[in-house]
Chain A
Amino acid sequence: MTKKKDEKLLTEAETELMAILWKLGEGTVADVIENLPSGRDLAYTSVSTFLRILEQKKVLKTRKEGRGHIYIPFLSKQDYEARTLKHVVDKVFDGAPLSLAKQLLNVSNLSKDEIKELKALLKEAEEQA
């Protein structure tokens, strides 16, 4: 059997569900459905199928409890943020992180506290390099 690529990105629907689980920490299908934004109409079976697929993708782990399964994120939010960002840098910014950083500053209005925090991070990175 062929290997399943683990550097793949999640689809929109999958990211939506993962966001809920990252927030909750862990949960059943019912938990996830409860936390869906109002108006988002997903059937129980759909969510259940999605979660099972995510488990096969090794993005989620499961633990049996009673009759149901509890889904726990295997892929942490931070790891996924990093993966997504790397993908964006590679594909959109031609592998130049600085271009992304420039754009980031352009599009976001950082507060004074946020800029302070950013400066601290840069200093840390400078010392490590």
Chain B
Amino acid sequence: MILKAVNFYLILYVVVLIAGIASVLIRVLCQKNLLRIKCSSELKLNYLFLCVCLILPFLSFSQSEIFQFRPVVKIESAQSMKDFDSSWQRGGGSSVSLLSQSLPTVQIEEVFSLAVGFVLISTLLGLGKILIDVTKLVSLIGNSYPIRKIGSVRISASDQVLVPFSARVLSSWVLIPVELISQREAFKVSVLHELQHHRQRDTTFIYLLLFVRAFLLLNPVMWIWSKSISEVQEMACDENLIVHGKINREAYAGRLIEIAETAIGQEGRLVCAAGLGFLNDRQTLSRRIETMFQKEKSRRRVTKLLGATVLLVMTGTAFAARELVLDRRVTMIEAQKMAEIAKRGSEFPIVVNDLVLGQLNRFLGTEEGRHFIKASMERMKVYQPMIEAKLVQYNAPKELMAIALVESGYKNLPQSPNKSWGAGLWMFIESTAKRYGMRVDSVVDERLNPEVETDAAMRYLTSNNLWFSDWLLAIQAYNTGENTVQKAIDSSGTKDVWTLIRAGLPTDKDYLARVMAVVLILKNPEILN
């Protein structure tokens, strides 16, 4: 669950990075006159990108067929099966690698919880700031004197503001300083400008922007992008007023300068507001005035092309980055789901416990393990028809095929110098092989004849099952020897194979769990992808 949240956040982060950089780049190009598009179109592009940023993470989760980046952070049970075995004895653990570089063992859950906590706190702080500013706005509005209502926008005069601004707090407001009332021309210019902000929905989008900024506190691009958007908002207002002939250019430019002079006195700017008087640094101001006196530009095709390109890049990246953090470990819940599927249509006793979970992680949670299983399954295909026929013949469960996989990986290996190891698919040791009628001498080793050895294995296993009336004990006895198992049952007084194993049934403690794990994997082959 947390993993999904982390990946969601990363997708959002990456997409905002792209959108932000693209938007700021467009702004810079426009400033330098290398790109000529209408400010209103530029603003709409910015808002479009912002909205798309928020939708993409949700969309990208649903995809699974499209190309995907390699995970940046991989969490596995161990680096190799051998590492797993040694750490398993010590109680298990996990291995984390960042971009293929192995990191020191960290408690992944703790790191994630910390990260989630950090994001939550930063978002809450951001929301807190918004709340404080809204409260200040409400106070300002409360202490102001409404003079007019234009459409749904209320114009109100205030003793407490030096420059006009607009904000949306439930209703749309424009606050102007009381003195402005006596200056007809300036009043008209200011109100028209502020109304345009409302029309452009700047006062609404500002909240969205602030929320995203709080959520993505660590994203440096957000801050530059916000500033860029503020500039575009003002320029789009300017453009609208001049282009539609509502105001004379000279008068407007003059008014901007007047306000800049007055605004020096205005204390602290409220983040939720947009206004004529903001953006009063010299460069921005001179840019605004210069732009006003430029010839009209209108290149709709360029805008559409730009927009489409950026959106495409954003979408592609969002989908490709959908799983930057990959957790290969198997959880108990996932294991239980696998067991549910495995039980269907079979009488074989499927069991999932901590030992089985451990072995599942050994195979599925390591690169090496996954490779081993896949390769073994390939090799198994060759022998499968023959073995299945034998299983039917001896009326044995199909699950027994897992044993050969665990024993030999379906490699028909000859006897190694170590006589305690077996040979063939089913790894019979020499003495047991002879007992079951196979010829093992310097001329011929019948263990290496898959059909003969499989037949012997079937007889051995079914005979164990008759003895113990329990397939799990039968399989355990295949590995440990039926006498050892019987002794353990007699001395402990229980026939539960797992109790016996935990009590210390000799040799391979993991054997049965391993076979069970392979059974589960064979019945849930999709898990290998």
Residues of A within 8 A of B (CB): 1-2, 4-5, 8, 11, 13-14, 42-43, 45-46, 49-50, 52-53, 56-57
Contacts and interface: CB of A to CB of B under 8 A. Distances in A.
A79 B173 CA distance: 34
Contact of B157 (A1, A5, A8, A53): A53
Given A11-B178, A13-B179, A46-B181, A1 B145 contact: no
B458 to A, nearest CB: 89
B142 interface: yes
A1 B144 CA distance: 11
Contacts of A11: 159, 178-179
A111 to B, nearest CB: 37
A21 B203 CA distance: 40
User: Which 3 interchain pairs have the tightest Cβ spacing?
Assistant: A2-B142, A53-B145, A56-B145
Contacts of B142: 1-2
Contacts of B90: none
Contact of A57 (B145, B146, B179, B182): B145
Nearest to B158: A53
Given A13-B181, A43-B184, 20 more contacts: A1-B142, A2-B142, A2-B143, A5-B143, A13-B179, A14-B178, A42-B182, A45-B184, A49-B147, A49-B181, A50-B182, A52-B145, A52-B147, A53-B145, A53-B147, A53-B157, A53-B178, A53-B181, A56-B145, A56-B146
Contacts, number: 36
B283 interface: no
B395 interface: no
A73 B447 CA distance: 117
Contacts of A50: 181-182
A8 B147 CA distance: 20
B306 to A, nearest CB: 44
A86 to B, nearest CB: 19
B529 interface: no
A47 B184 CA distance: 11
A3 B193 CA distance: 30
Size bracket of the B interface: 10 to 19
A13 B187 CA distance: 15
B483 interface: no
Contacts of A57: 145
A49 B157 contact: yes
Most buried by A among B142, B146, B147: B147
B416 interface: no
A13 B143 CA distance: 19
A57 B143 CA distance: 10
Interface in B274-329: none
A87 to B, nearest CB: 15
A8 to B, nearest CB: 7
A56 B178 CA distance: 13
B105 interface: no
23 contacts: A1-B142, A2-B139, A2-B143, A11-B159, A11-B178, A13-B178, A13-B179, A13-B181, A13-B182, A14-B178, A42-B182, A43-B184, A45-B184, A46-B181, A46-B182, A46-B184, A50-B181, A50-B182, A52-B147, A53-B145, A53-B147, A53-B178, A57-B145
Nearest to A13: B182
Nearest to A16: B182
Most buried by A among B139, B145, B179, B184: B145
Interface of B: 139, 142-143, 145-147, 157, 159, 178-179, 181-182, 184
Contacts of A43: 184
A43 B27 CA distance: 41
Nearest to A14: B178
Nearest to B142: A2
B66 to A, nearest CB: 55
A50 B178 CA distance: 8
A71 to B, nearest CB: 15
Nearest to A1: B142
A11 B145 CA distance: 14
A46 B179 CA distance: 10
Contacts of B146: 56
Contacts of B184: 43, 45-46
A8 B159 contact: yes
A3 B184 CA distance: 30
A52 B142 CA distance: 16
Contacts of A1: 142
Nearest to B157: A53
B302 to A, nearest CB: 44
A57 B146 CA distance: 11
A78 B120 CA distance: 58
A4 B143 contact: yes
A99 B139 CA distance: 37
Contacts of A46: 181-182, 184
Nearest to A9: B159
A56 to B, nearest CB: 5
A5 B184 CA distance: 28
A27 to B, nearest CB: 18
Contacts of A8: 159
Contacts of A52: 145, 147
B140 to A, nearest CB: 9
A66 to B, nearest CB: 23
B520 to A, nearest CB: 67
Nearest to A5: B143
Contacts of A13: 178-179, 181-182
A50 B157 CA distance: 10
B150 to A, nearest CB: 14
A14 B143 CA distance: 17
